[in-house]
Amino acid sequence: MKTAVIALGKIGLPLAVQFADSGHEVVGVDINPLQVSLINQAAEPFPGEAQLGEKLAEHVPSGRLRATTDYADAVPQADVVVVVVPLFVDEETWEPDFAWMDSATRSLAEHLSPGTLVSYETTLPVGTLRSRFVPVIEEISGLKESRDFFAVFSPERVLTGRVFEDLRKYPKLIGAISDAGAERAREFYESALTFDPRPDLPRPNGVWDLGSPEASELAKLAETTYRDVNIGLANEFALFAQDHGIDVYKVIEASNSQPYSHIHQPGIAVGGHCIPVYPRLYLSTHPEADTVRTARKLNASMPGRLVERAVSLLGELTGMRAVVLGASYRTGVKETAFSGVFAVVEELRRRGASVAVHDPYYTDDELTGFGWDPYAVGEPADLVVIQTNHPEYAELTSASVPGVKLVVDGRNITSSKDWPGIPRMVLGDGSATASEDASA
């Protein structure tokens, strides 16, 4: 099949490569000329995606994969158009911002050929494909869905850094408007993906048809919103345990030894493109979902809560130097999307501290570009806040930060033996909560 992939970001480009890997002729469309140029040189435009470099080096020179900024160069010849354009959420209103998605939809509709399957993989609020995008495509193209073209929602379910592994691991969900569209979608994804055996699943791993776009849209929102709500519950337990001299990690381990309990790990922040965003997409069509809203607000408040607890131990931070360890939202990736680093830095500055940031994945110039002072291990500081669980931070000791008065471990990766005599406040571990006079 000839396949067009719209948006060649950290999900779209690996998808395009996967389709080429399966023998498809793939043209990717992106509005960024630099991104397109790098891809056409078989150069990785971003670091950290396993196998991406090797696969680009194979498929670009062979002509199986190329990139363009021109929809007219990709869409008319395609049997399948896969849309992976980012969908943003307004930080104030929590309402979805469809600007980029709407623009991409209009552009592909202008060049759509009869018989094409259009698959949206970007996570969407329930009902968006049927009520928002299909009418636009029909109006602009003059084609009729289920007669002249077919629309399906098939959410991406992968993590950056391990996209190719996750594509094999998880069932590919599809939800089409018509039976004919579902059959076309199944044919495409079965030709483009291979699946690992999963004896733990109720049916064989592969393409799973959920019967409608709405069911498929909700499935993606549900699986991610579940994680946010679960983490919110874990954070509630962690805050309580910390105040009552209890180690919540032992509690969670004990609770999860029973097969009906699956409590996640607490943490100083929930970041990334997915978990902080998709509950708000769900809330945009179900505003009465109080459980979801409460968990999202709690998780968003965690950076401020931990800084407040640091202040209760140290006193006001005016004149102190604070170091935030970790800019990435999670270990192993160079990505700051919705990272807790932003809220932690803001809270520390609001309290009067001068703040420096360290991350092994970022250069000093890159950290400066975010508006932060870069920190080098070995420089003195009064307060250390561990925001990302990079393994490098588990190796640090009191000698790594001369003059440190308090360590706030938001990821439970430090050990008291490495920080002798230094008060530590570990989220959720009441037995490790700083009890010494931190202001001494």
Instruction: Give catalytic residue positions.
Output: 220, 274
3-state secondary structure the chain: CEEEEECCCCCHHHHHHHHHHCCCEEEEECCCHHHHHHHHCCCCCCCCCCCHHHHHHHHHHHCCEEEECCHHHCCCCCCEEEECCCCEECCCCCCEECHHHHHHHHHHHHCCCCCCEEEECCCCCCCHHHHHHHHHHHHHHCCCECCCEEEEECCCCCCCCCHHHHHHHCCEEEEECCHHHHHHHHHHHHHHCCCCCCCCCCCCCCEEECCCHHHHHHHHHHHHHHHHHHHHHHHHHHHHHHHCCCEHHHHHHHHCCCCCCCCCCCCCCCCCCCCCCHHHHHHHHCCCCHHHHHHHHHHHHHHHHHHHHHHHHHCCCCCCEEEEECCCCCCCCCCCCCCCHHHHHHHHHHCCCEEEEECCCCCHHHHHHCCCEECCECECCCEEEECCCCHHHHCCCHHHCCCCCEEEECCCCCCHHHCCCCCEEECCEHHHCCCCCCCC
